[in-house]
């Protein structure tokens, strides 16, 4: 079978309609038996030997010439993702006008459920294909699979989804517990025991010794959240705590405080995620710190306009997977509510 280049497409005739489109989900049907293939589809069929050559202005190209001729605008990356998904047994279409209904700008491929093709209209994944060095806007993620081609041409898939956070931790806060703001933490010298034991605020100063004080160390985030609700009282006030926070980490403190507060308000308990290189690990339901379960999520806080480098995503998601937690990004906008973006490793 031989094809012919027409603009950005390759047209194949003969039994193409039955063989390529009906039986294997390639291309978009034209009049009669002809099928138009996108360049990645044509390159894939050339590599498999199902199409022998593509003629362009009289020149007949095999895979090598066609591939070398097609680089630029991410063709190589799209080709590798397309081929990888085909190898995994999926039919898929370029997300282009004429191939799929309602193509979206930030989607490269529409992948059909295994065993199905473009005829049925069901969709398994909407895939965006990028190279590992391409930064990706946070706003372009969610309800998308990000397929990243690394520098050695391997493909890694990330499923991205907007989620709600929701927990079952109920807390009665005390009123006006006095504390001291000391450098980058707040000490409560004689707090009510439930503040730590039930609501899981702070860390006991002498917890593991069984000697010393009952003092509770609060992080600046915990202290600011509690001070804003009248539960903790330090001489410098809520503003003094926030100033101390901004002093050590700038704007980041404000973003983290908003994410922290949104989690607490949803009944979820955030504690530091430092050991995992994240902002928080979170517990859906805490009744007593003595019988604390597994924390379910790792949260990294970023501005809503953040761009992700795929390598950083790979690091976070791989780590979270390794410790059996879900990686969630808190996207913090200027004014409106915090949004939550879950990113998971996907093996299609």
Binding to a copy of itself (CB under 8 A): which residues in 228-267? 248-249
- 240 burial type by CB count under 10 A (0-12 exposed, 13-18 middle, 19+ buried): middle
Q: What share of the chain is helix, strand, coil (3-state, %, to 5)?
A: 30, 30, 40
Which of these segments, 17-25, 32-40, 137-145, 272-280, binds a copy of itself (CB under 8 A)? 272-280
Check: CB of residue 297 under 8 Å from CB of residue 328.
yes
How far apart are CB 336 and a copy of itself at their closest, in Å?
27
Q: What are the backbone angles phi and psi of residue 17, rounded to the nearest 5°?
A: -60, -50
Distance CA 90, CA 99 (A): 16
In three-state secondary structure terms, 38 is: coil
**Least distance (Å) between residue 101 CB and a copy of itself:** 30
Please, what is the Cα angle at 99 between 344 and 144, to 5 degrees? 15
If one asks whether residue 66 binds a copy of itself (CB under 8 A), the answer comes out as: no
Cβ distance to a copy of itself smaller for residue 30 or 245: 245
Q: What is the DSSP string of 56-103?
A: ETTEEE-HHHHHHHT-STTHHHHHHHHHHHHHTT--EEES-BTTBSS-
Return the CA Rg of the chain: 27
d(CA 195, CA 210): 18
Considering the complex, what minimum distance in angstroms separates the CB of residue 18 from a copy of itself?
21
Minimum CB separation of residue 81 from a copy of itself in Å reads 14
CB of 192 to a copy of itself, least distance (A): 18
Q: Select from 4, 56, 132, 161 the one that contacts a copy of itself (CB under 8 A).
A: 132
Which x/- pattern, by CB under 8 A, does the window 213-232 give for a copy of itself? x-x-x-xxxx----------
Chain residues 144-183 in contact with a copy of itself, contact rule CB under 8 A: 148, 150-154, 156, 180, 182-183
* Least distance from a copy of itself to the Cβ atom of residue 74, Å: 8
Q: Which residue has the tokens 């503003």?
A: 239
Residues designated as active site: 283, 294, 325
Residues 6-45 binding a copy of itself (CB under 8 A) are none
Q: Within positions 288 to 347, which residues make up the interface with a copy of itself, using CB under 8 A?
A: 310-312, 314-316, 318-319, 322-323
> Could you say which DSSP state residue 257 is in?
H
Asked if 275 interacts with a copy of itself (CB under 8 A), we say: yes
For a copy of itself, the closer CB: 34 or 246: 246
Count of residues touching a copy of itself (by CB under 8 A): 63
Place of tokens 């690990």: 281
Q: Is 206 in the site for a copy of itself (CB under 8 A)?
A: yes
Binder of a copy of itself out of 104, 123, 124, 205 (CB under 8 A): 205
Q: Is 281 in the site for a copy of itself (CB under 8 A)?
A: no
Q: Are 94 and 41 in contact (CB under 8 A)?
A: yes
Taking the complex as a whole, how short is the minimal distance between the CB of residue 304 and a copy of itself, in angstroms?
21
Q: Which uninterrupted H or E stretch holds 242?
A: helix 237-249
Burial 58-72 (b: 16+ CB within 10 A, else e): eeebebeebbebbee
Stretch that binds a copy of itself, among 22-30, 68-76, 97-105, 139-147 (CB under 8 A): 68-76
- The pair phi, psi for residue 258, each rounded to 5°, is -65, -40
Q: Which of the residues 91 through 130 are near a copy of itself (CB under 8 A)?
A: none
Chain contacts with a copy of itself (rule: CB under 8 A): 47-49, 63-64, 67-68, 71-72, 75-76, 87, 131-133, 148, 150-154, 156, 180, 182-185, 187, 189, 202-203, 205-206, 208-209, 211-213, 215, 217, 219-222, 248-249, 271-272, 274-278, 310-312, 314-316, 318-319, 322-323
């Amino acid at each position: 079978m031989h094809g012919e280049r027409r603009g950005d497409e390759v047209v194949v005739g003969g039994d193409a309609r039955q063989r390529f489109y009906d039986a294997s989900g390639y291309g978009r049907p034209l009049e009669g038996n002809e099928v138009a293939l996108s360049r990645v589809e044509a390159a894939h069929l050339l590599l498999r030997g199902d199409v022998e050559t593509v003629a362009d202005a009289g020149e007949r190209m095999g895979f090598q010439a066609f591939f070398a001729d097609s680089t630029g605008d991410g063709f190589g990356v799209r080709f590798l993702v397309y081929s990888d998904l085909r190898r995994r047994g999926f039919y898929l279409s370029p997300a282009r006008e004429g191939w799929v209904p309602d193509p979206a700008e930030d989607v490269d491929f529409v992948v059909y459920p295994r065993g199905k093709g473009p005829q049925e209209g069901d969709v398994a994944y909407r895939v965006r294909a990028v190279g590992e060095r391409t930064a990706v806007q946070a706003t372009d993620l969610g309800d998308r699979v990000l397929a990243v081609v690394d520098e050695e041409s391997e493909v890694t898939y990330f499923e991205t989804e907007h989620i709600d956070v929701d927990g079952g931790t109920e807390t009665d806060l005390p009123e006006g517990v006095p504390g001291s703001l000391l450098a980058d933490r707040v000490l409560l010298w004689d707090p009510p025991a439930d503040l730590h034991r039930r609501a899981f605020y702070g860390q006991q100063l002498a917890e593991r010794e069984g000697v010393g004080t009952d003092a509770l160390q609060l992080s600046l985030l915990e202290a600011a959240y509690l001070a804003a609700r009248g539960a903790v009282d330090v001489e410098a006030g809520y503003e003094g705590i926030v100033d101390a926070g901004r002093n050590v980490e700038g704007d980041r403190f404000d973003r983290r405080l908003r994410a922290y507060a949104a989690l607490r308000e949803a009944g979820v308990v955030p504690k530091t995620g430092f050991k995992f290189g994240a902002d928080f690990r979170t517990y859906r339901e805490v009744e007593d710190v003595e019988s604390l379960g597994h924390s379910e999520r790792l949260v990294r806080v970023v501005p809503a306009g953040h761009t992700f480098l795929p390598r950083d995503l790979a690091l976070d998601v791989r780590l979270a997977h390794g410790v059996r937690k879900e990686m969630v990004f808190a996207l913090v906008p200027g004014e409106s509510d915090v949004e939550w973006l879950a990113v998971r490793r996907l093996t299609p």
